[in-house]
Structures are given as structure tokens and as C-alpha cells.
Amino acid sequence: MLAPRSDFPIFSRRVNGHRLVYLDSGATSQRPRAVMDAMVRFDSETNGAVKRGAHTLAAESTLAFEDARATVAAFVGADPGEIVWTSGSTAALNLLAYACSNASLGRGEALADSDHAGAYDPALTEKFRLAPGDSIVTTRAEHHANLVPWQELAARTGATLRWLDLDPEGRIDPATLDRIDSTTKIVAFTHVSNVTGAVSPVAQIVAAAKAVGAITVLDACQSVPHMPVNVHALDVDFAVFSGHKMLGPTGIGGLYGRRELLNALPPFLTGGSMIKLVTMERTTFAAPPARFEAGTQPVVQAIGLAEAVSYLEKLGMENVATSERALTARTLAGMAEIPGVRVLGPADGANRTGIIAFTVDGVHPHDVGQVLDAAGVAIRTGHHCAQPIHAHFGVTASNRVSFGPYNDVDDVAAFLDALAGVRAYFGVEK
């Protein structure tokens, strides 16, 4: 075990009379007491309106808010000005897709008069404009949050949506990279599949996109909490991540964007705090990231996320990745010994993370989940907001195990023991 269970208050409880075995971190992770304490401390001692006052509490709140941004930015290898706070990765992806819509409608011209206008490059705004004849490329491995916004953007602009396909193991097939061509304006893809745990060939996809001048968007929700991630080193243009998947609170996430591209991107939401000057006739906008942070921000959530990042940094992300790889290998080996269990995705631990989707012959995934829950083992059941990749495997739903830094070999043993009894429980022959 890498992170002591005693650091996480929820592990003091029992579920259905059993020690809690939490194997659903891919959906939402548990939070250490340090994160909860940081949020309570802020609310108890500091809480004030961020960027909306000169009094002591407002000034302290603003400083804490921006310090949190700097902490999170450093964790993912970005500059503070390249991180936009959102309510999560879904909001971040929609922000980006709708901002592209606004660029396509010609709203980029308004940026010429915005704050930081000296850094504005109209040629970069042109990169966000889509029209009939252009294409957006995503992959069959995507979470719906990184597919549906691009489907809708294509529908709004007349662009064509294409996708990279998968090999039999569910990995992105490099042979389909030729679908990124001279018409492609945006390439949006997952870093790690939330179904198979397979790590995408980021360098190959980025190289193909750059060759045609396309913008790259990386869904890093399932990578940032589980391995070292440096967005500058990955050379992607945008990336998204969610706080509640990385030991932090719900209601907070981030959009990373290259500084020059954020400067050239029109806003999506408008209102307070994202403006430079407002008259009755027109408005000019603030520089990023403020341009994309209209209204009241998730301040205490940002404080909690920064504390979660500090906790992960103390563990060491290489250590987190190593621990989860070992647990994954042990789990896959154990599952291979249980009749009727089919793993969706790579059958070994190579180039994958601690996410394992599987089916049990003759038993519906929800029934599998209930049997495991009776033994105190929490897993995910359903299509995991990723129906196309399930269709690729010829199923409509699956079960999913996903590890966090608080899991250990005892958790694996409890899971395997409960899983081994599922088919017998339902009277399914071996």
C-alpha cells in the first residue's frame, strides 16, 4: 500500500459487514483528510469574494485561489496562466468546443481589443474556425465527454467528424492515423482509456496532427491521477483533467491551453470577472485565464485540489504508477484463473494503467456488481460513459476495477475471492 488507509476517513467504515475494498477510483477517488481539512480551514478562516474586493478576506482568498492554480499547473507541467479553472473535464471540453463555435462565427475579431491584445495573433484564431470541408478527428476509445461535444461542434459548423479506430485489444490503431489529413482542424483523444486502461500513442497522434496543422486536445482524466504527466513534454495544445479523480473534491477541474492559443480563443461564458471594459455598446475581454472564468469560481474546491496535488506529490507519481502497475498485473493474473471471466482490453500489464474492464459469462454486469458489493467490494458497472468502445468488444456493458494509491494486495485478494464466487452464486455452470 502506497497511501495509508488511515489518511482516508472513509476507510474507517465497513460495508455490508466487511472491510471496504474501494476499486472505483476511475469514477471518483476517495479524499484524504488533508484535503478535507484544507477546505474547512479555508471556509473557517479565509473565505471571501475572489477578485471582488480590497478587504483582507477578499485579498487572502484571491491569493489562495491563485496559489492553488500555480500548484496544480506545476503538477501537470504547465505555467499558471495556462490553467483555466472549470467545474471538471466535461465543462472544460465543452468550453473549448463552444469557444471554437464562437471563433467559427467570427467572434475572434473582438480579441484584437482585449487585454493582452499585444499577444493576440489572428492567424491562430483562424485555427479554431471550422466550416464545411473541415474535419474533427477523435477516437472510438473516448469517454462521451470527449466525443459528444465534438459531434455537436461538427453539427453546428458543418465540419465532418471522423475517428481513429481500435485494434482487437481496444488500443488505438496507428494504421488509422491517415484519417488525420489536410482537412483536419482538431484532433481530440484520450491519454488513457477509461475502459481498457490502455495508454494511447500520444507522440504518434501529436506528430500526425502537427503535420497538418491541427490542434490537439488530450483527455488526461485517467492519466493525471495515476502517472507523471507533463503537458509541455507531451506537446499537446490543450488538455483536461478532473479534481475528483485525483483525490480532490468534486466541482473542480482544469483546462490546460498553450498560452498563445488561449490568447487567440474567444470566450464561451461571459459576465463578471472576464472583462476588461464594458460599455452599453460593446465589451472587451480580459487576458486568459480570466477570459474563461466568468462568474463565481469554485474557490474552496481549488484549495482542496491543490492540497490533493500536494498529497500526490509527497507520494511521488512514479511511485503511484509503479504501485498500480503491480496491483494490475496481480489482478489480471488472478482473473485469468477464474472461468468465465473475459477482460476487455490488454490481457497483460504492458503500457496500461490500473483500469480493468471485464464481463462474466452468463451474469449481467449489474448483478456482478451487487454480489461484489455484498462482500464489501466496490466496482463500477455499466458502459462507463463509453458506449462505442463497448460496441467494439461486442457488449453493451461491463464491470470495471480501477485502482488508487490507497489500494493494496489485500484489496486484490478480496476482489478475486468475491469474483470467483459470482457464477456459482447464480448457478451458472463452469
What is the C-alpha to C-alpha distance for residues 411 and 225, in angstroms, rounded to an integer?
A: 19
What phi, psi does 192 have (nearest 5°)?
Answer: -135, 130
HSE on the CB side for 246, CA within 13 Å? 37
Residue 15 is placed in which grid cell? 460495508
Amino acid, res. 306: A
According to DSSP, the β-strands at 135-139 and 184-190 are parallel
Residues whose CB is less than 8 angstroms from the CB of residue 428 and which lie 6 or more positions away in sequence, other chains included: 340, 361, 362, 363
DSSP 117: G
Q: Are 338 and 416 in contact (CB under 8 A)?
A: yes
Q: Are 104 and 157 in contact (CB under 8 A)?
A: yes
Of the candidates 205, 307, 313, the residue with the CA atom closest to the CA atom of residue 249: 307
Q: Are 95 and 266 in contact (CB under 8 A)?
A: no
What is the C-alpha to C-alpha distance for residues 161 and 199, in angstroms, rounded to an integer?
A: 23
What is the C-alpha to C-alpha distance for residues 419 and 411, in angstroms, rounded to an integer?
A: 12
Q: Are 8 and 406 in contact (CB under 8 A)?
A: yes
Residue 65 is placed in which grid cell? 485561489
Residues whose CB is less than 8 angstroms from the CB of residue 280 and which lie 6 or more positions away in sequence, other chains included: none
Residue 146 is placed in which grid cell? 470527449
Residue 79 is placed in which grid cell? 505555467
Q: Which of 34, 385, 413, 428 is catalytic?
A: 385
Instruction: Report how far apart, in Å, the C-alpha atoms of 312 and of each of 210, 214, 218, 228, 321 are.
Output: 32, 33, 21, 10, 11
Instruction: Report how far apart, in Å, the C-alpha atoms of 162 and of each of 89, 136, 146, 153 are.
Output: 22, 6, 13, 13
What phi, psi does 50 have (nearest 5°)?
Answer: -70, 130
Q: Are 84 and 259 in contact (CB under 8 A)?
A: no
What is the C-alpha to C-alpha distance for residues 154 and 61, in angstroms, rounded to an integer?
A: 40
Is there a catalytic annotation at residue 385?
A: yes
Catalytic residues: 385
